[in-house]
Chain A
Amino acid sequence: MQTSRKVGSSSIKAYVLLTGVLCLFIGPLIWMLSTMLKTKTETYRFPPTVIPEEITFDAFQRLFTVQPLMWKWIGNSVLIAVAVAVGTVISSSIAAYGFARFENRYKNALFLVVLTTLMIPASVMIIPSFVLFVKLNWINTWAPLIVPAWLGGAYYIFLFRQFFMSIPLELDEATFLDGGGRWTVFQKIIMPLSKPVIITVLIFSFVYAWLDFLGPFLYLKSNELFTLSVGLQLLIGQTGQDFPALAAGAFISILPIAVIYFFAQRYIVEGVVLTGSKG
């Protein structure tokens, strides 16, 4: 907040505060790692140990033995998240091109509808959507989780449109003069120039599909179809007192997101901040 970098005592104060509060935020995650590496008996000890006396990976073995479907659930989660991410990028970018580049009297009104759906609380739609999926015979399939993503997401249409509008119109016009049509422009000009926003949307929609709990929880009934999140929820009931195994399960569900985050932090931060900057 000052013109020069803070030096001396105020800088030290900032570090002390930052580290102290960071411990509170990272503490629970460290406790998870610590629990995961302990033996079952060590977790029942009081006072508890933070650094395990004997580091063991037995928890993972127990986890996969108690619940042989673990691998299946991990695979299901990956498949669904990939299908959602790919579908979101394709459908939302196509719709966004329509909203970004055409001039007609319907465009603005329809885009307002897109923005309005963003403001509708999701839980108002839980029961109505469930009834719809029952009628479509989609309960206990992945269709309710994947198909909507292939038909455009309001927030992602908004993101794509913002980006497309920053691409100079002259590029479109040059293509039209060369005899190219709208689809050529979209495919050959707009999309190749939109790599940053494509990556943002890919990552964002993948992460949100992975984090989704309520959808799979409501729509999936047979264990073989579960995602990792819903499977873990089942596991809490099955092996609630095996703390290391539960911690190991939590760790596995965090791992892919954490890896993506550490490699592509910029895109995630951008996507979040963009939601706040339209106001």
Chain B
Amino acid sequence: MNRLGKFEDAKFFLFILPWMIGFTVFFLIPFVTAVYYAFTDARIPGAADLNFVGLDNFTALFNDRIFGKAILNTLFFVFVGVPVVTCGMLLLAMLLNADVKGIALFRTFYYLPTLVPIVATVIIWRLVFNSEFGILNAILGTFGIAKISWLGEAWSIKPVIVLLQVWISGSGVLIFLAALKGVPKHLYEAAEIDGAGKLRRFFSVTLPMISPAILFVLVIQTMYNFQMFTEALLLAEGGPNYASYTYVYDIYKTAFTELKYGMAMAQSMILFAMILVVTLALLKSSNRFVYYEGEKRG
């Protein structure tokens, strides 16, 4: 590479300059500021009259009952929502992996809900789940089931949001579909010759072969559900009775309603730590269930 001249390093930095500026301004500076703010009582962004309050923001949080509820709600979306959504994606992917004519058209339509803007999704779901005029209660009514206020009951709002996530889970389905197509056919043939039934083939061939994709989807979905907010905001405004009030919703309220920016930064840092710990635990435990082809198993 000598013939290219001695300015090669400078040229490299010139090429990546846009990213370097973007990374510094929109990532590094806000992040470092956030760590600093988290230990202050800042109430206005950029305020000069802020005081260093040590760990006060953090200790105050744990005495807040609503904050506890927000954590519990978020854990529901992580530990119930993620498995349900991931299983839904896998079942849909297996369904769409069927070797029949016209399957491409089916795949096209199954992915469509994923591309619906979230506000439109919420409008549609309000139309479907409307307790008086919605189609769902009308269908259930023909079976003699009384009208249910799906978006107005504390017990139903979280399941409805998880259901919404399944509806827009097309990206995960695509990833599973690609993984399923990558499973070599001869493995199924060998298993069949050995007398393995459908269920056995699924657990002994399909699952191990697509386990890297499962891990990937689990990690992404876990990170996403830890940050559950927009759906809860638009569909139920955190209610009813705080049933969909999530952790990020609480951060939003702390900052934009109560104007406690220092506190909101502290909450953001805790969120970061929580996601980091759970994701690392997931990755760490993955060597027990993820199978990489060509790797020796110890």
Contact = CB atoms under 8 A, between A and B. Distances in A.
**Chain A, interface SS category:** helix
Interface residues of A, number: 100
**Chain B, interface SS category:** helix
Nearest to A114: B19
B45 A135 contact: yes
Given A125-B27, A131-B46, A31 B127 contact: yes
A161 B196 CA distance: 43
A229 B115 contact: no
Instruction: Find the residue from B30, B108, B252 having the highest chain A CB count within 10 A.
Output: B30
Contacts of B45: 130-131, 134-135
B215 to A, nearest CB: 7
Interface stretch (A44-52, A53-61, A64-72, A191-199): A44-52
A171 interface: no
A113 B217 CA distance: 22
A250 B261 contact: no
A257 B168 CA distance: 14
A6 B103 CA distance: 13
Contact of A123 (B37, B122, B185, B271): B271
Given A11-B100, A121-B275, A150-B18, A31 B135 contact: yes
Contacts of B4: 176, 182
Interface in A1-43: 1-3, 5-6, 11, 14-15, 17-18, 21-22, 25-29, 31-32, 35, 43
A273 interface: yes
Contacts of A268: 115
Contact of A98 (B16, B215, B234): B16
B238 interface: no
Interface residues on B, range: 35 or more
B138 to A, nearest CB: 5
Interface stretch (B53-61, B64-72, B151-159, B171-179): B171-179
Given A131-B261, A151-B25, A22 B11 contact: no
B203 interface: no
14 contacts: A18-B100, A43-B133, A104-B8, A106-B9, A106-B12, A131-B34, A151-B22, A152-B23, A213-B118, A213-B230, A250-B116, A253-B117, A257-B116, A276-B178
Given A29-B116, A107-B12, A261-B115, 15 more contacts: A3-B185, A31-B128, A45-B133, A46-B133, A94-B16, A102-B11, A127-B261, A132-B29, A182-B11, A213-B117, A218-B256, A229-B117, A229-B118, A230-B119, A273-B174
8 closest Cβ contacts across the A-B interface?
A151-B22, A98-B15, A276-B175, A128-B30, A152-B19, A250-B120, A128-B34, A134-B45
